[in-house]
């Protein structure tokens, strides 16, 4: 445990490894890349998704989100991962990294937030969903790919009924291979 200035113990926040130990399926990682960060999604104490974030040149280039199977879970209150939500989160993450003085999404005028999201939603709705095959733990796995707003979104089946959702610049998605994460992959 860490200590504060007086030497008193300060509780640490849970690390990704703590959440991963309770996660019901393997975490997907981009092969040949090192994650720079992570996030989680859930409701109450139930973690429904773990996400690895890959950056280069001070920009988010790729996110790989492993979403646990909802089988056997009460769907009430579980997060929904729409393509528009994935694109919006990715774009917002990049804006905050590249434009640190930019007003945060929460500070934007509600009308501006709504217009921005509707623009993203229209782009996602208008984009064609095409079959895409990616190597997952060395096995060719077919899912769906969508390209919109200069980004690609990929949805693939994963181990134990889970789903992997990847969002990134097309250059990263075009050459993406996924594998089960190891402790060395955890930021």
Give the up-direction half-sphere exposure of residue 45: CA atoms within 13 A in the CB hemisphere. Answer: 2
Mean pLDDT over all residues of the chain? 86
Lowest mean pLDDT of 39-48, 74-83, 174-183, name the range.
74-83
Give helix then strand counts, H and E, for the chain: 4, 11
All structural domains of the chain with their residue ranges: 2-79+130-185
Residue 23 CB partners (closer than 8 Å, separation 6+): 47, 50, 66, 68
Q: Over pLDDT 70: what percentage of the chain?
A: 86
Please report the pLDDT score of residue 114 as a whole number.
Answer: 87
Lowest mean pLDDT of 44-48, 59-63, 164-168, name the range.
44-48
DSSP letters spanning 69-115: --TTS--TT-----HHHHHHHHHHHHHHHH-TTSPPGGGS-HHHHHH
Task: Say whether pLDDT at 1 is over 50.
Answer: no
DSSP symbol at 161 = G
pLDDT digits (tens, 9 = 90+) for 147-177: 999 999 999 999 999 999 999 999 999 999 9
Please report the pLDDT score of residue 26 as a whole number.
Answer: 94
């Amino acid at each position: 445990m860490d200590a504060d200035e007086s030497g008193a113990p300060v509780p640490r926040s849970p690390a990704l490894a703590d959440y991963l130990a309770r996660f019901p399926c393997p975490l997907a990682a981009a092969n040949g890349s090192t994650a720079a960060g992570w996030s989680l999604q859930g409701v109450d104490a139930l973690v429904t998704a773990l996400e690895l974030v890959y950056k280069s040149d001070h920009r988010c280039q790729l996110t790989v989100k492993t979403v646990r199977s909802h089988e056997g879970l009460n769907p009430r209150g579980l997060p929904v991962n729409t393509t528009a939500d994935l694109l919006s989160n990715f774009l917002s993450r990049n804006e905050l990294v590249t434009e640190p003085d930019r007003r945060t999404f929460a500070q934007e005028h509600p009308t501006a937030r709504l217009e921005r999201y509707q623009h993203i939603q229209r782009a996602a709705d208008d984009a064609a969903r095409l079959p895409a095959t990616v190597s997952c733990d060395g096995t060719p796995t077919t899912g769906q790919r969508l390209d919109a707003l200069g980004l690609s979104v990929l949805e693939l089946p994963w181990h134990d009924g889970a789903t992997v959702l990847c969002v990134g610049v097309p250059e990263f998605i075009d050459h993406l291979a996924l594998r089960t994460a190891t402790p060395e992959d955890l930021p």
